Structure 1
Amino acid sequence: MSRRLRLGYPGFFLLVALAMAALMVFLLGAAHGDLQRQAATDARNMVGVLEARLESTLRRAQANLEELAVDVPLEALAPEVPEALREKVRHKLALEARHFPEITGFRLIDRSGVVRYASEIAEPQADARGRSYFELLRKDPSLRLVFSEVAVGRMAGRPLLFMAVPIRDAAGAFAGVAMAPLELSYLQGLFEALDLGPNGVVTFRRADDGRLVMRRPAQPDRVNQTLSNNPMHLRVEAGEMEGALRFQAAIDGVERVYAFKRVGAFPFYVAVGIALPDFLSHWQRDAAGAVGATVLFLLLLGLILKRLHASELRGKRATVDLQASEDRFQQLLGSVGEGICGMDRQGRLLFCNPAALKILGYRSEAALQGRDLPSLLHTHGADGRELVPEACAVRQALVVGTVVHSSDGVFTRADGSRFPVRFDAYPLIKDGEDIGVVLLFADITERRRSEERIEFLAHHDPLTGLPNRLLAEDRFEQARGHAARSGERTALLFLDLDGFKTINDSLGHDIGDEMLKALASRLRQQVRETDTVCRLGGDEFLVILPGVRDLDSLSLRVGKLLTAVEAPVELPGRSLSTSVSIGVALYPDDGEDFTTLMKNADTAMYHAKDAGRNTYRMFDEAMNHQVQEALRLRSNFQRGLAGGEFVLHYQPLLDLQTRRVVGAEALVRWHDPERGMLSPGHFIPVAESSGMIVPLGAWVLREACRQAARWPVQGGQPLVVAVNISAIQFKRGNLEQTVADALSESGLAPDRLEIELTESTLLHQTDEVLATLQRLREFGVRLSIDDFGTGYSSLAYLKKLAVNKLKIDQSFVRDLTSDPEDSAIVRAIVDMAHSLNLVTIAEGVENTEVLAVLRSFGCDEGQGYYFARPMPEAEFRRYLEAAEGVPA
């Protein structure tokens, strides 16, 4: 009997050794698989965030480049460009570039390859000849968008990636290039922000030939090199938009788990690689320790077996060693970071390791003894609802002996709280019999938080926490579906803060960001739970209001938003105030899709700006017609100026006492081939808003002086030509030089040119404006104040400028005989002018009665339909030849 017992010990110890080895292999294998799957998941999440950021950057830059290519006047790319137009283009480029930290700036390049404008440099002094993007677009201007290889910028002096769109003339021919250099250091910053471990990599490559654009860690000597047999690039070439794989990199020989994704519709893809040595480092240490412990145990076991066979004494000693080995086994089991529980066929606990107790919140294994473990695990079906205990995956494994791999569930802790877990379940075999289940589980709370954070950042603004445009568009689609079913409307509100740039420029972006967060919170408080407040970027917000039944209730809700923004914002140490301009577009009245409604709400917002700000405007089709008409006039303006479509008409100026013609006022008309003759009121506002008033005003000056030089002398006195000057010509044009050139080319004497200034021009007097007018006065040019009495009339500038003439506005002259107040105003102006030795002229003289009153007041000159309407220059010359005086 003793002999049989001694022969049974070796078999028992061998069974323990095999079980331990199998358990170690199983645990380490499961941990290895989990780590690799987690690495692939992390890589996919990171590459998804990077792709969203890169796609958003490229899409926004492309949209702005295409807008610049359409809006830039072609004359701005000519060899000789008026300074006013040049300054306008520079200002627009600088304004657009301010919203793009991802780019160095915007460039405009003419058809010969010369860089004419750069948003950050006044005089670029560079050319793009030889650059790949320029040569491609010059050969084929039908291309929509071109990217260059990575190259050192000739102005920036550092590696950049250039993206460019063509500028086409009216016939679609190549006229130049609008280009933006992508700041690779900015994108490198995005890559560096990722936690990939010591050997992690991020690559940004071309999708066509795999040329490297950027890499983290950086390898400048490999930039622009192509790929040939790279497994990931082969999958991209095969048309895959995204995926994950594992291979050894040829560059550094490191094996990694990679995830890649194409960047939207652009010819690039981004890849994130997490190195096996990084995410398996802890596992390798644990594995080494486990293998060492197992080897040590087997060595000890062999020694015990040998000594058992040697003697009973050694057998007793072997029993002690065996106990020590079991203790080490328990230590090894306790060193595993995942929870491990063994349970019988009824689900009752058999054993557990310390990690399981810690994760479940129990102090000792005794507290879990006899507990029904599957009842602590909550799993969910495909519909998201919690399964009944009998349907739990672990319960099914107990019943039918199945294996559960990497399933998600929720465990209940000892304190009743719940937490997410990922678990595996394997049959527990003893003596060839299935006696229960071994459950392995890990707390994935932190992993879930990281995934939720990544998901949140993909759909929300990181500063304010508001939904971004992507999420707002999704919310709108939901609201549109509800509106289509219910017959109600959905309102889209485009909000732009008034003067917010001043706050950023004067107080800094930190204060501006705090104010944006405070205003975002206010906007959220003013809307319902079903409404959506979105931050588009900068100081622009979007509000989606579903369930609009009538315009009165909508006006009240918009008014609350205006009031909420207008209230002061209390920040540490200061109180700031701003206002907002709001444009409103309605679905389906103003558009059927999100993009159209956004555009129309934006148009309405700009009308609110024009209406004085701190208000709102509802979109209507008239606004769209106005915008289209303004764009049409703006696009045809240069053609009309170059093609001789502008002509001058002249309205005679007469001496009211002698009825002799003393001069004429030059009035510009546009003979549009499509629309016929256009009056100044139709196109002058567009010319002023676009800056084209500067070249148009210069042309009017030259043409008026040239034609006036040919007029015959009337009554022994040469005739004066009066030309209106816009306030913009003072701000943007070299007016003094323009006048001098016009007089020099025409040979007209300076005292025969009379420049008419509006009171609004003089309202914001600057030293530069006053100095220009003073030099013109000293040069001999006459100065006249137009529409006197309608603005902020000031005797100070009459004295300071030494003007020659005051033109009384027709609004006072037209009802002179029937309105006592108008009569008193005109008499006062005439008396005041005479006391200052100034000539007065009345415009709008249309009948004999008005003429008689003006003569009785002593008014010096007049013009109006009573004498003659504006007429072409040839007809005006005939009028002069036939003039014998003024009809009574």
Structure 2
Amino acid sequence: MAFLIGWSSARLNQATLLWGIAHLSLAGATFTGYRYHLQPESPWLGAVATLLTGFFLASLHGGTNFLRGRIIGPGTLIGRSLGVAFLIAVVGFGGDKNAGSILVLGLMMLVYGVSAYLCLRMHYRLLAAAFSLKTGAFLLYFLDPSTIGTPFQNPDILAVGWVSSVLLGLVLVDAAIAQTRQRLSNVIKHLPDALVARRLDGKILFCNDRFAQLAGHTSPSELEGQQVPLLTQEQEEAEAMFRKVNAMVQSGPMDEPMRLERSVTPARGEPFPAEIIFSSYMDLGYPVILGLIRDLSERKRGEEERLHQANTDQLTGLPNRRFLEQQLDAVLWIAHRQHTQCAVLLIDLDHFKKVNDTLGHAFGDEILRDIARALQAQLKPGDLLARLSGDEFALVMAGLPSLMSILEVEARALALLQLIRRQFCSADGMEYQIEATIGVAFSGREGLKASVLLQHAEVAMYESKARGRGSWCFFESDMDERLAESLRLESALRQAVPRGELRLHYQPIYSCSTGRMTKAEALVRWENPQLGWVPPGRFIPAAEESSLILEVGQWILEEAIRQAAQWRAQPGLAPVVSINVSVRQFAQPGFESQVFALLERYGVPPACIELELTETLLASDQEDLPALLHRLHDAGVGLSLDDFGTGYSSLSYLSRFSLNTVKIDRSFVMGLQESSRNHSLVRAIISMAHSLHLNVVAEGVETWRQYEILKAEGCDYQQGYLLGRPMAADQLRAHPQVLAGEESNIPDAVI
């Protein structure tokens, strides 16, 4: 019963449960066996005694095994019990009764002896001695084996057996209690936090190893009964904290733990931030205060790291926009109180996207890090520097006096432009010039917010870019109106495709050898009900800067292919439609399948369209670009390199990529008559293209003299205002499809 009561308070202690069941089974086996010897005519008593004996032996062995960490399930326990009972029944009932008694005695000695051995190996020496004593007591029963299990056993032998059983029971109960106590001790010992229990007078009742280490001791037992401070950095603060906790405990039990964050100084080592949690309980009528010291060093470091990551640009190590806005709000508040000003210089690198597209983002990142280091090196006391996004940096100059601030800021802006202006050399020896444009905004006396001031500086930066880049510009109030106009333009452009406001016009391209119109370049036009006709030079850059170019480009591609299908269905005119494709559109996943799907939908052969590509696209770091162009070329889609000679031209493009046509930029054509240098360049481009089996289209032909020179140099196709302006599809059909051989025969409408 003592074992079962112990198990009820510690349900995980299976040893107490099995030992309790074993001894109840032993009691039942002894009683029924004794009655069976008195009433041999009642065989069921013998069967019950045999079953209970088997259950006793299996349970006792199972309880000892639990100490070794081996848990026995109910099925295994019952199976072993039945097996032992069957063995006893076969010998005792099927053979000789005395032999059965001796077998039972031998099995009990075996179980007790094995238990003694196992306990000795587990260093339960007292328990091993008790099991050994019980095993030895069984040897006395062999002095008179005929009386084993009968009422006629020797009283002295019975007394020894009873004494050994009582001693074993007491030791088993003590072992069960010790095991529960050890489990609790292990939990406290291996807590990662320091734990201490103390009375109101400050004397320690118990603590774990972690607290002992903090106090400079090797064992918790050394601190029991001692008064040890709670290791706070300030002794006065520690005493005040104890007085407060004692007062709370004396006034009544603590319903909720009390949590404090303090710096804890161990006996040996550096102070560390900690959370101290106080709670209380009653022990034998006396209040006990339980203190838990949790080291917060890792959590604090994690919080600092997360805060650093949230406020820092990972590429350059500079503060990011979020942190700059927080700091700038504080600077603006101080400036307002001290009647000073601050200036925000927003620095944007010019044409940096081309560097990323041409040399890859890894090279671009290295440039950004180099510029960030240069900007950090020139910081003055009170300055704030941050990387806002991409290639944008912001420098805040604080504490500026009201007078002479503009001159100081101008000098600083000029110094920054000179600092950033530098040559970078790529791995293949190509040199790139990096310059910057700066927008400047002053805080003034309006008490602006940081976000508004940064927006003003950004508006000034875009204004400076519009004026020619490479310089700086101060924010003026009317710039907001231009920004609002730009936003209105973008907003209206978002509705252009759904509302059907876009149109395609087509500019004819004539063959120099036949004089026939063989191609037509599709050019987008936009008419808005409020804005009227919006020039492409105004809305195409706005679309390029946003994701709108994808939607607009998709519409242009489908509308051009639809028009090509319509022309093919009519007799006469059926020119190849040349379609401009943006870099972002071409890099979009699924562009290739999109093109072929549209061609199949409208029944247009691939050879009936030509995609015009820019040198920026060919210079980009798209790994699958050569393979993609090769697949389009093999399928029959025409590929043309537009504006050749104006960008980062490389002859490797013409040999590396599968192309059909090269378009000479209009800037070379316009100077044909005035510059022999331009004439030589055009001749060289045509000759080089022909040597690579590429056709040549000359753009911007506006005079008959230009037409004749290009034709004489072997140019394959020409387009320009001389031959026809961009026009609607029905007007193109009425346009002359064949040019006359003399200037006088060119219709006035064409000229």
* Short-chain TM bin: 0.3 to 0.5
Larger proportion of helix? 2
**TM-score calculated relative to the size of structure 1:** 0.41
Using the size of structure 2 for normalisation, the TM-score is 0.48
More strand by share: 1
